[in-house]
Amino acid sequence: MKPHPTVAKSSPTLHGRNRGAFQRKLLAGCTTISMIFPSTILQRGFAQEAKNTKPSVQDAAVRQRADALLQQMTPEEKAGQLSQLFLFTKPDATMESRIAKGQVGSLLFVTDPSVINHLQHVAVEQSRLHIPLIFGFDVIHGLQTIFPVPIAMAASWDPDTIERAQAAAAKEARAVGIDWAFAPMVDIARDPRWGRIVEGAGADPYLGSAVAAAQVRGFQGAYIGAPDHIVACAKHFAGYGAAEGGRDYDSVDLSDAQLRNVYLPPFKSAVDAGVGTIMSAYMDLNGVPATGNRWLLHDVLRDEWKFGGFVVSDADAVNNLQTHGFAADKADAAMRAFTAGVNMEMALNKDAYDNLPAAYKAGKINSEQLDAAVRPILETKIRLGLFENPYVDEARAAQVLGATEQKQESLRAAERSAVLLRNEHALLPLQGSGNRNIAVIGPLADSKRDITGPWVFVNKEQESVSVLEGLKQIAPQGTQFTYSQGVQISRKFPSMFDAIFGGDKTPVWTEAEQKQEFDKAVQTARSADVVVMVLGERQNMDGEAASRSSLELPGRQQELLEAVAATGKPVVLVMMSARPLELRWASKNIPAILDVWYPGTEGGIAIANLLYGKAVPAGKLPYDWPRDVGQVPIFYSHDVTHQPEKQGTRYWNEESTPLFPFGYGLSYTNFQFSNLHINHDQIHRGEGLDVAVDVRNSGTVTADEVAQLYLHQQSGTSSRPVRELKGFHRVTVAPGETQTVHFNLDTADLTYWSAATRSWVQDDTRFDLWVGDDSNASLHSGFTVAP
């Protein structure tokens, strides 16, 4: 796929790292390095603008510096660089001793800049070679300022917005001393029962690839070591999103064609964008655990894709090779992961890689292998400038966290991510004097924690804006609000994150209290002009270890929705979740449905702006929305197969089509697509072509539309999907205006992996082409590829 335009990068001065006395001490202590590299090069830290240093020259200098360190390191020190440990509490003497001995290369879950500085002092001043630590953290969708969850960002269909959001998140992370994010998660997910769908970009490899590249650019900037940026980590390599039954951690069985055409492209896009690290997955892939899969981690990642960064395991995944029945013991697990291509072990408390020095002394691995594993880790630390500037400016960290510009970016992203699923009789936006008495109902309506979503560990909850609070701030003067929670919802089996960080302490209602609150909600609706219901899933119902067997609204939410609708009052349903929930009844009986995902710190303001028309919804679904869980997996890009005319009636009891198709999303205005033009009716293999289409806004408000281009290959070496997304552009169109949108198709868009040849092929054949506002686009043309 082709890269999307990137945001122009500024060139600010590197902040937050103290040079001075430490640098002089480092140079004095590392005689070999200082002799090889002049102090001017050391001072740059290899974190300079690309325009000032040719990449080949810079890469060679980084490699030489890493090799100079490797020559001085013992096998034990090298193994230490391959070790990453969790630190949930304050460091103890044992941890500090390990760091001082060079037995730890990285720590994660440390976010206090004072603690980071303390531990970095131990590493650079007490260890023999003064090698700094690299601090990692799950900066999934923000650090303190929380942005919409990644699946929501994908729904924006706007790489620029995604890049800006992750750049803002990176700025906060780097300010506190975090150098490395365990994101983006680029797993394709076609089964919404899988809880980690929240972290990805949905079901489509083309959209997923665009989102992956945008996130890498946002986190890393123009180069690894760019000011106010951090190293990204594409995860989980690979196929994790295809777990059987949507059950987290379960096995995955994928054909080569599925892997190459669907599940690997977002990873390849991340690598092409320059991602610095890759995380291996937990599960079995076709019978071989991904963390011990040399074909995946070496043959594909390094030999084919030429990935030059380093691979880190998922948490305790190396030790888990024993659980898989793949490794005999911890030492065997270390050898299998190491020889497969895992550079760094992320360990909870059992370090399999502690066995590597013994394996080296026994001749099971050689110095060349050990150096090859350590080298990219050292190179990353060099590129980040950690050797020269290991410490964080604690005063600046306090200034950066939660700054106004970060919140503005969060608000913008939330507004651009919401998807309007239904709007009968133009109920939205809420306008006029008839909407002055509003009932706000639902278990998520006034929740400051749930609005930010899962994977939030540093958030200052009091800074988040709930839906009720946002409506009160944005509503016209004189608007009256009444609120009722209505029902409580919770998991049957608690979240592991609740056990670690503490869950909701709200007492469970008694049966009498449940009835009282339910009745109160219905009565509140009866007394209102319009009802805003905020339903969905609590934040701990999505994410890791948050798969579920159904897609029903949890608890008694469906019953509450039907009871409120029975009052006859107009209802706006605000859906807060990461997965598509059961909306068959709502899609026929509730006039307005707005899917807001988990919109982040400023979510309440964004939702209020959308409901009142201060912002116009333009998000599009990044997956097909099923009618029923029995349809799962369901995706638009299925093969034509036998009897395609009966594709929508594969089940005898209901339609086999989705409730809402991939790419779907309404607006407060109307758009028309016309004048589809392809510059060539026939091209030769290796050539590209240009496609143009007019997009007209025939409504009365300025709004965004996402023009989407789909292809179908009519015949060839293998049968091909009925449609595949191959281009999209989000454009802003004023009332009465027509914009011409251009797409460029190249060889990559017309090439696929064939199981017949076990290779990439481009066939000489005829292609159908559609452009429109979702995967059911009807504006059609075609072209031919000739030899």
Rounded mean pLDDT, 214-242: 97
Q: Provide the 10 A C-beta neighbour count for residue 674.
A: 11
- Quote the pLDDT of residue 471: 98
- Quote the pLDDT of residue 47: 33
Beta-bridged to residue 246, according to DSSP, are none
Side chain identity at 422, as an amino acid letter? R
The CATH number of whichever domain residue 763 belongs to comes to 2.60.40.10
Lowest mean pLDDT among 27-36, 473-482, 589-598, 669-678: 27-36
Nearest Cα residue to 534 out of 474, 447, 606, 453: 447
Side chain identity at 148, as an amino acid letter? P
- Quote the pLDDT of residue 700: 96
Rounded mean pLDDT, 11-37: 34
Q: Provide the 10 A C-beta neighbour count for residue 500.
A: 11
Yes or no: say if 444 and 469 are a contact pair by the CB < 8 Å rule.
Answer: no
Coarse DSSP helix, strand, coil percentages of the chain, rounded to the nearest 5 percent: 40, 20, 45
Yes or no: say if 279 and 235 are a contact pair by the CB < 8 Å rule.
Answer: yes
With bands split at pLDDT 50, 70 and 90, how would you rate the model's confidence at 52?
Answer: very low
With bands split at pLDDT 50, 70 and 90, how would you rate the model's confidence at 657?
Answer: very high
Torsion, Cα 432 435 437 441, to 10 degrees, reads -150
Q: Is the pLDDT of residue 23 over 90?
A: no
Pairing of strands 134-137, 571-576: unpaired
- Quote the pLDDT of residue 147: 98
Question: From residue 560, how far is each of 450, 527, 628 by CA, in Å?
Answer: 19, 16, 20
Percentage of residues in the chain with pLDDT exceeding 90? 87
Q: Is residue 700 part of a domain?
A: yes
Pairing of strands 592-595, 419-423: antiparallel
Q: Is residue 737 part of a domain?
A: yes
Q: Is the pLDDT of residue 538 over 70?
A: yes
Q: Is the pLDDT of residue 675 over 90?
A: yes
Q: Is the pLDDT of residue 491 over 80?
A: yes
The burial of 479, by beta-carbon neighbours within 10 Å (0-12 exposed, 13-18 middle, 19 or more buried), is given as middle
Nearest Cα residue to 521 out of 489, 482, 558: 482
Nearest Cα residue to 320 out of 298, 339, 347, 357: 347
How many helices and strands in the chain, by DSSP H and E?
Answer: 25, 26
Residues with a catalytic annotation lie at 314
The more confidently predicted of residues 370 and 21 is 370
Rounded mean pLDDT, 763-777: 98
**DSSP symbols for 283-336:** SEETTEEGGG-HIIIIIIIIIIT---SEEEPSTTTTTHHHHTTS-SSHHHHHHH
Side chain identity at 17, as an amino acid letter? R
Range of the domain at 768: 671-786
- Alpha-carbon span 156 to 730, nearest angstrom: 9
The burial of 692, by beta-carbon neighbours within 10 Å (0-12 exposed, 13-18 middle, 19 or more buried), is given as middle
Rounded mean pLDDT, 352-362: 96
The more confidently predicted of residues 58 and 615 is 615
- Alpha-carbon span 442 to 488, nearest angstrom: 9
Q: Is residue 366 part of a domain?
A: no
Q: Is the pLDDT of residue 54 over 90?
A: no
**DSSP symbols for 479-507:** -EEEEE-------SS--HHHHHH----PP
Q: Is the pLDDT of residue 558 over 90?
A: yes
Lowest mean pLDDT among 83-97, 257-271, 496-510: 496-510
- Alpha-carbon span 188 to 200, nearest angstrom: 7
CA atoms within 13 A on the CB side of 42: 23
Side chain identity at 628, as an amino acid letter? D
- Quote the pLDDT of residue 4: 39
Per the structure block, which two tokens stand in for 566?
């029975």
- Alpha-carbon span 766 to 754, nearest angstrom: 17
- Quote the pLDDT of residue 724: 98
Question: From residue 719, how far is each of 257, 559, 638, 716 by CA, in Å?
Answer: 11, 45, 10, 7
Q: At what angle do helices 330-340 and 367-383 cross, to 10 degrees?
A: 70
Phi first, then psi: what are they for 422, rounded to 5°? Answer: -155, 145
- Quote the pLDDT of residue 499: 75
- Alpha-carbon span 679 to 771, nearest angstrom: 15
Q: Is the pLDDT of residue 433 over 80?
A: no
With bands split at pLDDT 50, 70 and 90, how would you rate the model's confidence at 40?
Answer: very low
Q: Is residue 718 part of a domain?
A: yes
Q: Is residue 735 part of a domain?
A: yes
DSSP 3-state of 412: helix
With bands split at pLDDT 50, 70 and 90, how would you rate the model's confidence at 55?
Answer: low
pLDDT in tens, 112-167: 999 999 999 999 999 999 999 999 999 999 999 999 999 999 999 999 999 999 99
Q: Is the pLDDT of residue 533 over 90?
A: yes
Rounded mean pLDDT, 267-288: 98
pLDDT in tens, 708-767: 999 999 999 999 999 999 999 999 999 999 999 999 999 999 999 999 999 999 999 999
Pairing of strands 703-713, 766-772: antiparallel
Q: Kindly provide the residue ranges of all beta strands, DSSP E only, lying in 109-252, ordered along the sequence.
A: 134-137, 180-181, 233-237
Nearest Cα residue to 200 out of 126, 122, 140: 140
Nearest Cα residue to 346 out of 135, 174, 96, 179: 135
Rounded mean pLDDT, 484-504: 87
Would you put residue 555 in left (φ > 0), alpha (ψ -120 to 50) or beta?
Answer: left
- Alpha-carbon span 262 to 187, nearest angstrom: 10
Q: Is residue 726 part of a domain?
A: yes
- State the residue for tokens 């067997």: 549
**DSSP symbols for 497-541:** HHHHH----PPPPPHHHHHHHHHHHHHHHHT-SEEEEEEE--GGG
Lowest mean pLDDT among 30-44, 653-667, 724-738, 753-767: 30-44
Q: Is the pLDDT of residue 512 over 70?
A: yes
CA atoms within 13 A on the CB side of 756: 9
Question: What mean pLDDT is reported for the chain?
Answer: 92
Q: Is residue 776 part of a domain?
A: yes
Angle 412-444-142 (CA atoms, 0-180°, nearest 5)? 40
Q: Is residue 689 part of a domain?
A: yes
With bands split at pLDDT 50, 70 and 90, how would you rate the model's confidence at 497?
Answer: confident
- Give the chain's domain count: 1
- Alpha-carbon span 81 to 14, nearest angstrom: 26
Angle 215-220-223 (CA atoms, 0-180°, nearest 5)? 130
- State the residue for tokens 């992320």: 346
Q: Is the pLDDT of residue 48 over 70?
A: no
Q: Is the pLDDT of residue 43 over 50?
A: no
pLDDT in tens, 392-427: 999 999 999 988 999 999 999 999 999 999 999 999
- Quote the pLDDT of residue 502: 72
Rounded mean pLDDT, 294-309: 98
The burial of 727, by beta-carbon neighbours within 10 Å (0-12 exposed, 13-18 middle, 19 or more buried), is given as buried
- Quote the pLDDT of residue 56: 65
Q: Kindly provide the residue ranges of all beta strands, DSSP E only, lying in 571-688, ordered along the sequence.
A: 571-576, 592-595, 671-678, 682-684
Rounded mean pLDDT, 208-218: 98
- Alpha-carbon span 472 to 367, nearest angstrom: 65
- Alpha-carbon span 781 to 556, nearest angstrom: 48
With bands split at pLDDT 50, 70 and 90, how would you rate the model's confidence at 188?
Answer: very high
pTM metric for this prediction: 0.93
Q: Please enumerate in sequence order all residues whose Cβ is within 8 A of that of 542, keeping only pairs 6 or more positions apart, or say none.
A: 149, 195, 197, 198, 453, 454, 577, 578, 579, 598
Beta-bridged to residue 759, according to DSSP, are 754
- Quote the pLDDT of residue 32: 34
Q: Is the pLDDT of residue 79 over 50?
A: yes
Yes or no: say if 671 and 773 are a contact pair by the CB < 8 Å rule.
Answer: yes
Rg of the chain, C-alpha, whole Å: 27
DSSP 3-state of 735: coil
- Alpha-carbon span 335 to 341, nearest angstrom: 10
